[in-house]
Amino acid sequence: MGGLRLRLDKDVLKCEYCGMPLTEHNVYTREIGGKTHYFCCEHCADAYEAKSR
């Protein structure tokens, strides 16, 4: 993997679709509309992007 390093506060960063708390081991990012969004998995990212259309 690419070595993404994030410093996460468990009370702050959650999946923007389902609300699951994110850790440095289960974070999935996607750029949508020029902004980076954080998700727990590709499925949530796909669902969020479809909903925002």
Q: Residue ranges of the alpha helices (H) in 1-53?
A: 42-51
Q: Has residue 20 been placed in a domain? A: yes
Q: Has residue 23 been placed in a domain? A: yes
In three-state form (DSSP H/G/I as H, E/B as E, the rest C), the secondary structure along 30-41 is: EEECCEEEEECC
Q: Has residue 3 been placed in a domain? A: no
pLDDT at 43: 97
10-45 pLDDT, tens digit each: 467 899 999 999 988 889 999 999 999 999 999 999
Phi, psi of 31 (to 5 degrees): -90, 125
Which single residue is written with the structure tokens 């440095």?
A: 24
User: 31 lies in which domain range?
Assistant: 11-53
pTM of the full predicted structure? 0.74
* Per-residue pLDDT at 1 exceeds 70: no
Q: Give the contacts of 36 (CB within 8 A, at least 6 positions apart).
A: 29, 30
pLDDT band at 9 (very low <50, low <70, confident <90, very high): low
- Say how many C-beta atoms besides its own lie within 10 A of residue 10's C-beta: 9
Our count of domains for the chain comes to 1
